Amino acid sequence: MESTRSVGVVALVLVIVTSGCIGFVTGEEALVYQANEVSVDADAKTASGYERQLREELVVNQTVSDRRIEVTNWYLRYEKYDDIAEETTGVLAVVSTHRVDVFGHTTNPYANMSYSGILANLTADYDTAFGNLENARFVENKTASVLGKDARVGVFATNTTFGGEEVEVKLYVTRVRHGDDIVLAIGGHPTKLPAGEQEILTMIEGIKHQTDENESATERVAPAGFDAANAGAMVVADAN
């Protein structure tokens, strides 16, 4: 029995070494996670009058328990523009980010963050077109159907910079776990435009996101010699 077990261990080590995975085992190479792209379907955009203004693939690097982690996130921003008033009347920011499992634990902070925390941090990490939302006050909860699930939508209100002006806005934030990713959305419109609420909810319910149905895990090992800092223009230090 012991002899058979020893042979199995040796065989496993040989497979790891010969396949070039020794850097993964020793922690010398990064753990790489890739979120699947997120978007909003055409019908929702047509019904609400929103258009996509920004689409970015952002790479974030961090260290967890001395292991370098690289996470590729997708970020898209949609806006509604009033041609008569010549101003932006609504914004929706959508992000897909991998949950990032390290040693059996989900380490992505957005996985368990409060909705008020998501408001503050997402606007700090991404160009959402909103100003500072740290003082947003909770108003109520709503429910929306997002990616086949009943998702809680937290509604907040605050004064912030919107469309270049200081105005009172209503904000909508939701989070859905879909496959190996976490999908986040923040929408907002001036409170003086109450029709904006249904438009935002229509956009939220129109969110689309692919999953890796045939993969049990999307964790990958970076290739030998990989240098995230020089991997390309899309790589950023902290996704600002």
Tokens representing 231? Answer: 């991997």
238 SS3 class: coil
- What's the rounded Cα separation, in Å, for the pair 56 and 52? 11
Write the pLDDT tens digit of every residue in 72-90: 999 999 999 988 878 888 9
Whether 216 shows a pLDDT value over 90: the answer reads no
Residue 233's pLDDT band (boundaries 50, 70, 90)?
A: very low
Q: Do 87 and 81 touch, CB atoms closer than 8 A?
A: yes
Tokens representing 11? Answer: 């065989």
| One-letter amino acid for residue 195 of the chain | A
In 3D, which of 20, 35, 115, 113 has the Cα closest to residue 70? 35
Residue 238's pLDDT band (boundaries 50, 70, 90)?
A: very low
Residue 235 DSSP symbol:
B
> How many other CB atoms sit within 10 Å of the CB of residue 145?
12
Whether 100 shows a pLDDT value over 90: the answer reads no
pLDDT score at 188: 93
Write the pLDDT tens digit of every residue in 141-163: 999 999 999 999 999 999 877 66
Write the pLDDT tens digit of every residue in 187-214: 999 999 999 999 999 999 999 998 865 4
Whether 16 shows a pLDDT value over 80: the answer reads no
- φ, ψ of residue 158 to 5 degrees: the values are -170, 170
Q: Where are the domains of the chain?
A: 30-230
- Going by C-beta distance under 8 Å and a sequence separation of 6 or more, which residues neighbour residue 47? 199, 202
Q: Do 191 and 137 touch, CB atoms closer than 8 A?
A: no
Query: Average pLDDT, stretch 115-124?
Result: 86
Q: Which of 37-46, 73-82, 146-155, 215-224 has the lowest mean pLDDT?
A: 215-224
Whether the pTM exceeds 0.85: the reply is no
Residue appearing with tokens 């956009």: 203
What's the length of the chain?
240
CA distances (Å), 222 to each of 27, 36, 214, 232, in order?
11, 17, 21, 15
Query: Average pLDDT, stretch 4-31?
Result: 44
- φ, ψ of residue 206 to 5 degrees: the values are -90, 5
Residue 20's pLDDT band (boundaries 50, 70, 90)?
A: very low
CATH number at 30-230 = 3.40.1000.10
